[in-house]
Homo-oligomer: A and B are copies of this chain.
Amino acid sequence: MPDSYKAEIRSLAIFEHMADANFEAIMRGAYVQNFPPQVDLITEGDTADFMHVVISGSVELFATWNGRETTMSVVRPISTFILAATIKDAHYLMSARTLEKSRVIMLPSSDVRRVFDEDHKFARAVVTELAQCYRAVVKNSKELKLRTSLERLANHLLRQQARTNGAANFELTIEKRKLASQLGMTPENLSRAIKALRPYGVTIQGTTVQIAKQDDLVQLAKPTPLIDDPAF
């Protein structure tokens, strides 16, 4: 484990306030790995032997059942994933694969649990992170059940816009096929939904989004912090 990574990891909210000795203990068993795109990191159902941290690139969390597959979320640097399974010493509920060339840190779950029991600062950080994740899934679930696909797309665009700089022009960060799955629709339907947003001033060419009539889109999307604000 090179020191350059260590400093970066150390600055993550989840590791920030823990004791040096405990951080070292976790790092001792950890290793960093570089993956090309489209590599399976995790398969749902496996035992959660590692907690993961994405350092660069992006990782898709997805789930399958009966031959179907859906994108649950996309994890970007710098964040953890599969924390709950590690804590509970349970099986992964989701699979994970790299979308781009990615650097991922893998921390043995048993080490994480051991340090959790010894370092209260770390425990506090883990709970905060876990609560955050929980709330994110609840928001996602609310969106799925309460909004139509057009409304989901409209709100996704507004969230993406806010995540960048709030400007009228910005980029989609994942391919449309994945976006469709994440929003709970088919690629074809997403394509049509994009067209349906044209009267609201939305133009999407390739990965470039332009929002010409912000107010109109907002009026359609009716965003609420209770669903759309990641920090709420």
A128: Cβ under 8 A from any B Cβ: yes
Q: Is the CB of B226 within 8 A of A145?
A: no
Chain B residues positioned under 8 Å from A135 (CB to CB): 84-85, 88, 90, 93
Q: Is the CB of A146 within 8 A of B70?
A: yes
Chain B residues positioned under 8 Å from A126 (CB to CB): 127
Nearest-Cβ distance from residue A109 to partner chain B, whole angstroms:
12
Q: Is the CB of A144 within 8 A of B142?
A: no
A192: Cβ under 8 A from any B Cβ: no
Knowing A84-B131, A130-B134, A132-B88, the reply to whether A139 touches B66 (Cβ < 8 A) is no
Chain B residues positioned under 8 Å from A184 (CB to CB): 144-145
Chief secondary structure at chain A's binding surface: helix
Query: A187-226 CB contact bits vs B (8 Å, 1 = yes)?
Result: 0000000000000000000000000000000000010111
29 A-B pairs in the complex with CB atoms less than 8 angstroms apart: A45-B226, A63-B142, A63-B226, A65-B224, A65-B227, A66-B146, A66-B222, A72-B145, A84-B134, A84-B138, A87-B127, A88-B131, A88-B135, A90-B135, A90-B232, A93-B138, A93-B226, A117-B120, A120-B120, A123-B123, A123-B127, A126-B127, A127-B130, A134-B134, A134-B137, A137-B137, A137-B141, A141-B141, A141-B144
Measured in the bound complex, the distance between the Cα atoms of B227 and A85 in whole Å is 14
Knowing A132-B88, A134-B84, A226-B91, the reply to whether A144 touches B145 (Cβ < 8 A) is yes
A116: Cβ under 8 A from any B Cβ: yes
Bin the interface of chain A by size. 35 or more
A28: Cβ under 8 A from any B Cβ: no
Q: Is the CB of B65 within 8 A of A147?
A: yes
Q: Is the CB of B146 within 8 A of A68?
A: yes
Which residues of A from 135 to 187 have beta carbons under 8 Å from B? Answer: 135, 137-142, 144-147, 184
Residue of B nearest to A44 (CB): B226
Measured in the bound complex, the distance between the Cα atoms of B168 and A86 in whole Å is 36
Measured in the bound complex, the distance between the Cα atoms of B83 and A128 in whole Å is 11
